[in-house]
Chains A and B, each alone.
Chain A
Amino acid sequence: MTEHTPLPGVPDSIPAAPQPAAAVPPETAQHPGVPALEIRGLAKRFGEKIAVNGISLSIPSGSFYGLVGPNGAGKTTTLSMATGLLRPEFGTALIYGVDMWEHPVEAKRLVGNLADGVRLFDRLTGQQLVTYHGLLSGLDAATVESRATDLLALLDLQGAANTLVVDYSAGMTKKIALACALIHAPRLLVLDEPFESVDPVSAANIRDILHGYVSGGGTVIVSSHSMDLVERMCDHVAVIAAGRVVAAGTVDEVRAGSTLEDRFVQLVGGRHQQEGPEWLRNF
């Protein structure tokens, strides 16, 4: 915790233990109504296929927001458009009121992004990769170094700091990607499938870190297939199916008395009662 230079309005607690309440982002304090992420009418086509068909969501500042949906619902596409990785055909995405596609540099400074399905520069060591991301976001060398050390310790990766990322397991790769998303102390974290193939202990550690981040004033959006996890971890949730928002609100509002999983199946449909073909049942 030596020479951190906090970005404007960023809780200075990201890599270290949470220091709640001390740092409420001043901008948000001035405009308490400004959502961390507001997307309006986002839409994207891939050839003939409409991946995202007019999604609007408002993610309140300081919330832990879950994004759930069946495979191919458009979660990754939506998050990519919101974080400036994929140009939307229609609609806008505002990060704390800053338009991602009008002022990308300013907006991207506020977002930490763990994208799903993109490569990492995996011929770097873990330490080098985190350093790389820190320098890309414009931090100075001393800050990058101390934060990278903090992050690697926080994610139990010190032992692998000098190992090439290409030699990491899938779970370790997720963790190092998370470190890369956190290094510039963003106010909004967008995590696409952060718990995929992460072992239960690491997942619990990551959850603690995220909770600390949220209680320090940060906002987290996670997409996940695990209803259980979202139900336990998030305070808000949106259900996306076929490129549209089917339900959104606080977790209690969305599950409406039932479990999130039952509610999800009910909203999305597609369950069928079958035992599979005969040749798979007789041995």
Chain B
Amino acid sequence: MAAQLLTPTLAPAPIAQKPTSIVRVLVSLRYRIMWNALRRNTWQLVGAIIGALYGLGVLGMALVGLTALGLSNSPFTGIVLILVGSLIVLGWGIMPLVTAGADRTLDPARFAVFPISPGTLRRATLLAGAVGIPGIITGVVAALTGLAWIHHPLSAIIAVLCAPLVLLTCLLFSQLVMTLATRLAASRRYREIIGSLMLVLVILLGPLIAGLSNGVSLSLDVIPQAAEIASWTPFGAAWAIPALVAEGDALGAILRLVIALASVALLAWLWGIAYDAAANAAKSPAAASGKVRDARGPFRFYPASAAGAIAARCLIYWFRDPRYARSLLIVPIMPFLFWFVTRQFEAGPELMAFAVPFMLLFTATATFVDIAFDGTAFAAHVSHGVRGIDDRRGRAWAFLTLITPLTIVVAIVVAVVSGTAHLLPAVLGVGIGMLLAGNGIASVQSAFFLMPVPDPEDSPWASKPGSGALSMAGTFGSMGVLLVLSAPALVLLGFAVGTGSTLLTWLTLPVGLGIGALFYWIGVRWGGRILDRTAPDLLARLAKHA
């Protein structure tokens, strides 16, 4: 009897049935987890606060800028808003790939055991994005564009009404890109894909630079045209509606509204497909890579010592751990970007001599995240009492093995394509010198600075809460030091380029190499000594991060 009486209350009564309440639970879960993570780690908390302050700064600037735009009542208001707005939407898709911005708290794989539909999880993910700092800022800025239409009250109202539409487009776009990128990273073909992509980019570098420099040049009169084109795309359509209303183009406004709504529907549909595919893949984890043919692999190339073993292990990780490959992706992109940015100056092809140093500024110190990538596996080094200097050397050797040939190839390609082959000795001197110095800097930095990085099982694009500002501080810190230390070589390269002197060009080669070797020598020793002192404490911090 008692059992029968009890049964009704046993049934799913206490479970929240409505998807909306599950969404609320999931969104608050995300914030609870974030807050708990921040409380455990002071530096991540500091990073999050800096991030929030930065967001407030952006909001303040947007407020001032949009008000000024509104008061000026300029005919270009619409054009500016469409172009900047399109860039914001585009940024939502690209930024997570560049800055490791994916929040994996609501990863479908983690909810596989719960009776929650993928649709509910998707809504929760979107809502969680909307109430995050970037989501709030984008939404508020989109609404603030009403200020820019202060002389057109109807447009102002429509701009505010379009804000949710803009935000939804951003969120869906970024989630679609993230889901696809994570799927790609999880696939065993990932490193082949990344590798071939890089190869293609290196090969295309030459033709692209040559082709584009003969093509259209950016000038002021193409800007309105660009805005017109953007307004027909999912990126700019929603931003164009108030502008067209202000111009009195009702038909145009309605067409853009249709495009904007259709974009949201299309993105939601595509994301749904990608998301469900990812969720199903998560339920059946495939073996990561299976067997390896060559038993010893890179262990053959390096001396059989502690440093050699670390070098071999790191080299394997550069290929097998997708988090490493990420930092190599920019190698072929950077010279291209450099060319694109500097061609406005009409300084002549000699400026391209700086493309390789520019690229290395972003890559030479890449090993400063190495120990953070190790995570608690670093315990192997601590428990065997590995000398700090061996640890530092091994990591540097692996990276140099990989990046030096790549740098030389890129330098030759850039020199040949831009017709600056006569400057190649100087470029190589500065470049390889920067690589050496960069590894010296990273050796010191990574002995005390731990970047919050995604775990090895996570997507390489996952992020830890509050890591944005910290990663930026770490990256720009090492970049700044590298710039200062290689300044003499860079100045000499500048003189070689300016004067065209063969003597100076050849002089830059040993000077660049010498400076690099010196700072490598100092950095590896200094970093090794710090590590000897602090390795167990570093391990304790890594365990806390995990």
Contact = CB atoms under 8 A, between A and B. Distances in A.
Interface residues of B, number: 49
A58 B279 CA distance: 52
B383 A115 contact: yes
Nearest to B376: A118
Interface string B65-78: 00000000000000
Interface string A177-201: 0001000100000000000000000
Contacts of B321: 123
A87 B537 CA distance: 7
B288 interface: yes
B15 interface: no
B287 interface: yes
A87 B540 contact: yes
B123 interface: no
A123 B381 contact: no
Contact of A113 (B6, B7, B9, B383): B383
A117 interface: yes
B386 interface: yes
Given A85-B536, A86-B539, A86-B540, A128 B299 contact: yes
Interface string A259-272: 00000000000000
Nearest to B14: A279
Contact of A282 (B10, B287, B289, B297): B10
B295 A85 contact: no
A204 interface: no
Interface in A113-130: 113, 115, 117-125, 127-128
Scoring B321, B382, B384, B539 by chain A CB atoms within 10 A of each residue's CB, the highest score goes to B384
Given A87-B537, A115-B379, A117-B376, A166 B288 contact: yes
Interface string B375-401: 111011111111100000000000000
B289 A164 contact: yes
A108 interface: yes
A180 B380 contact: yes
B385 A123 contact: no
A162 B6 contact: no
The bracket for how many chain A residues form the interface is 35 or more
Nearest to B298: A128
Given A104-B385, A124-B313, A162-B291, A140 B380 contact: no
Given A85-B539, A86-B540, A163-B291, A135 B309 contact: yes
B387 A105 contact: yes
B290 A123 contact: no
Given A125-B292, A279-B6, A105 B320 contact: no
Interface in B406-435: none
Given A85-B379, A132-B313, A184-B384, A127 B295 contact: yes
Nearest to B321: A123
A166 B288 CA distance: 7
B3 interface: yes
A27 B81 CA distance: 80
Given A115-B379, A121-B313, 15 more contacts: A84-B536, A87-B536, A118-B376, A124-B316, A131-B296, A132-B299, A132-B313, A135-B305, A135-B306, A135-B309, A136-B380, A137-B306, A167-B288, A167-B290, A279-B6
Interface of A: 83-87, 104-105, 107-109, 111, 113, 115, 117-125, 127-128, 131-133, 135-138, 140-141, 144, 161-164, 166-167, 180, 184, 278-279, 282-283
